Structure 1
């Protein structure tokens, strides 16, 4: 959530930021609500002062024997209380409307985020690795959905039978590869400074609001009983671990990681990545979340992105890093790097990790602050960051396609051999 004071004092900058994000912004409505709210607060405070003064005078009048004047003052106090109830109710209604308005406003991109209209204007920052030349090796690579079916490790028909479209059953070496990837990701992160958590996947509405999934993206969320939701990413639970808390500066930065299944309706994605396991309603992902001071968050974004890159390097998967432009930036982010892995079936790069610095946007929504007595009084909002580290399904697809052999088998990346117990995935005999 944006700082209302900042928005009030920087209307032109906010309007320009929303324009660059292709986001709607009702400046007139904001100004009207903000002015009415402040006027109501002024009126409330004036009435409270008048009531306090009148209440104080009643005792003095009674002591001086001025009963009639005291009764008149009491009547005035009763009238003030009625007026206060009315103005307070009005102010609360305005507060609620203004709060709802701000919950729908995306974060303001930082200066490092390039201005652009959409994903076609995302600049590439760097590449690592060289895609295999299958033609030089004398065979045509198969897409992972055909490889998986031929090896009997991906079962799309049974996934559809059990749960519907965009659900897949993994069997045999497919199930083992999924588990191997999850364990490898977690072992790597925890050996490099991340604290592992095992959070719930069912959360309250306010938890989803805290990280920005609600209310704007409710159509993409899976509802369960009552006002509860299945998480779309462990970013939701990891970030909200400290909702309503004040952390000590000397405990920052905090690096957290967790594996969870993730659930997304994928509303509005009809026709996109319908084949294979790239875009599923349920998928497994290891997430990274960081809490940092404002002065350190940019450095933490770079190190988080490097962490996702390190995993791909260890797996030997070619990738590139792009910087999301303003028109393609996620709702809560002020800056984002997408790491895209090479997929032969697309003859191009496909997003596998998105690492974002959200500034104090989520911290304001979830009320997460830090204290640093050596540098300032009280507490301030900290910065939150999140990134995929990595999704098991998309990584599996990338391994299958990039490590396939001419005979239809799949070579297992060296770092996964201890987890898999084999160096090659073969057809089940």
Structure 2
């Protein structure tokens, strides 16, 4: 049973296995980064502060520092347990803080955003606003949370309140806003300005953020060579950066048509990086080249990892794709889609709801959902494809034709496995 090709897009919102003669990626560029170095998840600095924490501890600084270190370890390893430990430390800091409480609230809110606990993050943002503190930091948090919740008019209001063209945080949020609106040229322009600011400041964390985000945006714009170069620049700063390596693997797979090499790159990542979606991407690429052994092995790895209840709702969208495309559990997909809409009523959540309704035989209700919450409200190719399927089932030929034209121009983002399905619309 084939794994739904749409899952690729969710993993990187980024013709057989024959190699492309105009390949962009070259082993000599990135092979040096594929050495699997052990990820250090402790340090003298961490041990010092961690040692100050006792069961009855009131060492506020210790909890803040340790929470930050746990979050860094999560970013480096993809291990959910570190994110949960960060949450525990930050909650303790919030409980005991008299001075600096808003900062701990904001850090905990961002931890909840990472866990897809968006409504809880909003409650913390409200708590921060009630206390006071750095207004710009709070407005930035409100923008981030409302974008995740699909409250776009509110997000725009908070973005307007931040206006400061010399601020890196404002520029990257302005880029995100224009990406939501579908204005990719403006998105890239602001992200390039943010990159320049990060480079002038020689701030490696912000440079890394800029390079990986521009890698994605350039890919969306069809500037594949530029995208590839940004991922390489990110790896020059952080040799172990899993996201940049995944970006290169996508170039190798979707543009260069070298599936085996893409899997090799990802294999090097998953030796030390544990996020479940990387295994799902490997399964998808293997599915494309009919390598059932590699596909099954990586699907099993994915399912084993997402059984961990610590993930909560973080992988709902991926599981929706599996319910629909792999296991054909349409009833389960509908229930999960309804849960996602309750958690975050975004066009993506509603698209999955409409798609699940279609698969459950309710094509009229599916079209009603797409008309109200998806069509004209998102530019994500995967979601447009779902909408096109719903419109096709309802005989809306003109709308299908319109969406098909957009999707043909987005084959790189959708992945080579989607090309035939798009042309068959």
Q: If the length of structure 1 is used for normalisation, what is the TM-score?
A: 0.24
Higher helix share: 2
Q: If the length of structure 2 is used for normalisation, what is the TM-score?
A: 0.24
